Amino acid sequence: MDNPFFRNNGPFKFNEILKDLNLKPDEKNKDLSIIDIKDLQNSKINEITFFHSKKYQLAANNTKASFCITSQNLIKDLPSSCKPIIVDNVLVSTSIITAKFYPDSINDNFDITVEEINNTKFNNTVKFGKNVLIGENVSIGSNCLIGHNTIIEKNVSIGENCCIGSNTIIRNSLIKNNVKILDNCVIGKHGFGFFPINDQNLRYPHMGIVLIEDNCEIGCGSTIDRGSMSNTIIGKNTYLDNQIHIAHNVRIGENSIIAGQVGIAGSSVIGNNVKIGGQAGISGHLKIGNNVDIAGGSGVIKDIPDNSKVMGYPAKNIRDFLRENK
């Protein structure tokens, strides 16, 4: 998927990448160019990726990237077609190179191109409230409603038959058809990613987007962060209740229902037909299978297989939990 929100400053020579990471030049490959940086699954030839955890071993085995920022203990899991770039801190090094390709992805400044919707081409095609602001190159389909004091920033795309509530901000997002985003939501802001270095917090670039598929509903006061390198995705026919937080790179499947005040940490994958009760918390980098039920107030700290019902903290099989807490 093309990213209309962040401009790629590449390509860069391989040795230039090595210099930025304080590594020795490689005379053999000095003329090679690297055109982009992507995650393991989406990277292609002449692109660079990163591999920092055994949890992503399968993706590393099958990556199409020509170069990979990684650590010494992980290089054996890369294909022979992928040249490892060995560093001490994979995530910090990846952050440096991502910022080189996509310098705008570090910041999260407001869009200075926005103007009153009355002054745009949508004046006669969209029903809207007071004080609605629209950025450059925004696309809005037919039969859409936009509430009071809402801001839709540059390059955002909204499909047909959508309803965007009042006091909502949407940026860095692609929204398909028949989507409802209720009042006081923030969609597409920078994710919460930092690395402590020398008594400072290094902010991780976020050059992904938010994709909300057809027939979804996002409840009042909910926040959905854009992806860091992958995209944050809400699958078709999925409903989010009020005050839910979806962190960067989270992927939620189709036909799922998530109750109020749930928090899903970064890079977790939620399957299809999943039900999550109110105030449940899901840790980062987890995989929740299809047809899973998670009871309200549960704390999920490990993967959950398909067709499971869990409860408690740490979340466990609901029958085991009830038996232990008679």
What amino acid positions are annotated as catalytic residues? 248
Q: Which of 115, 137, 139, 114 is nearest to 126 (CA)?
A: 139
d(CA 281, CA 1): 30
Here the tokens at position 242 are 């009020």
User: Within 13 Å of residue 325, how many CA atoms lie on the same side as its CB?
Assistant: 10
Amino acid present at 90: V
d(CA 312, CA 324): 11
Amino acid present at 145: L
d(CA 94, CA 90): 6
d(CA 249, CA 268): 7
Sign of CA dihedral 280, 243, 249, 265: negative
Total residue count of the chain as it appears in this document = 326
Here the tokens at position 312 are 């408690």
Q: Are 318 and 309 in contact (CB under 8 A)?
A: yes
Q: Are 118 and 129 in contact (CB under 8 A)?
A: no
Which residues are paired to 115 by β-bridges?
134
Q: Which helix (H) or strand (E) holds 180?
A: strand 180-181
